[in-house]
Amino acid sequence: MGFHYRINEGKAHFVTLTVVDWVDVFTRKNHKMAIVESLKYCQQHKGLEIFAWCLMTNHLHMIIRAEDDYKLSDILRDFKKYTSKEILRLIQEEPESRKKWLLDRFEFAGRFNPKIKNFKFWQDGNHPVELYSAEFTKQKLQYIHNNPVEEMFVENSHEYLFSSARNYADLDGLIDVVLI
């Protein structure tokens, strides 16, 4: 039997949320800001604690935990449900040169799943990995912040606006985080 990813409520986890087929959707400012605003909402209203995050073109890495009386699995479910609808709405309503191609990909991804009505935006699962030690946490934090450097978007991690690396460099970030 294979390894199963499971959320241990009350613990901090490293998670990755990935767009179906690794489609590069987060290349437009409005799509990226939809993720940022939704994360802020989850912090303010759903008990989400964010320790680190980085939004790449087709996935989102985070180190997160749910506050007491909240369930991380519920927060992630609601976040994915809302953001998929919001980003699909943006693709349909705002100028987007890849509109037909994007909608076709997302429609095809959900076509054979009876739970999906029209489109599937996020891949199933979040691949939660519990942070079990300080060393492992540091490794995941560095991995998250070095993603834009590895992709050559920026030379230094703190230069990337859609990441908590700015917060860790004592710069203003788009999202408030709890420093580790």
- Which structural domains are found in the chain, ordered by start? 13-132 (3.30.70.1290)
Q: Which two tokens stand for residue 56?
A: 């790449």
pTM, two decimal places: 0.93
Write the pLDDT tens digit of every residue in 127-158: 899 999 999 999 999 999 999 999 999 999 99
Closest residue by Cα to residue 127 from 57, 62, 58, 31: 62
pLDDT of residue 56: 98
Q: From edge to edge, which strands make up the β-sheet containing 129-130?
A: 48-55, 59-66, 13-18, 129-130
Could you tell me the pLDDT band of residue 21, with boundaries at 50, 70 and 90?
A: very high
Closest residue by Cα to residue 142 from 65, 48, 6, 51: 51
Q: Which two tokens stand for residue 68?
A: 């007491």
Closest residue by Cα to residue 85 from 53, 63, 60, 110: 110
pLDDT of residue 167: 98
Write the pLDDT tens digit of every residue in 47-87: 999 999 999 999 999 999 999 999 999 999 999 999 999 99
pLDDT of residue 2: 37
> What residues contact residue 85 under an 8 Å CB cut-off, 6+ apart?
none
Rounded CA gap, 153 and 15, in Å?
Answer: 22
Taking each continuous run of H as one helix and of E as one strand, the counts in the chain are 5, 4
Write the pLDDT tens digit of every residue in 92-116: 998 888 999 999 999 988 887 777 7
Is the CA virtual torsion 93, 35, 79, 149 positive or negative?
Answer: positive
Rounded to 5°, the CA angle 26-30-32 comes to 40
**Helical residues (DSSP H) of 46-173, grouped into ranges:** 72-93, 99-110, 134-150, 165-168
Could you tell me the pLDDT band of residue 1, with boundaries at 50, 70 and 90?
A: very low
Mean pLDDT is lowest, of 4-13, 133-142, 157-166, for: 4-13
Could you tell me the pLDDT band of residue 88, with boundaries at 50, 70 and 90?
A: very high
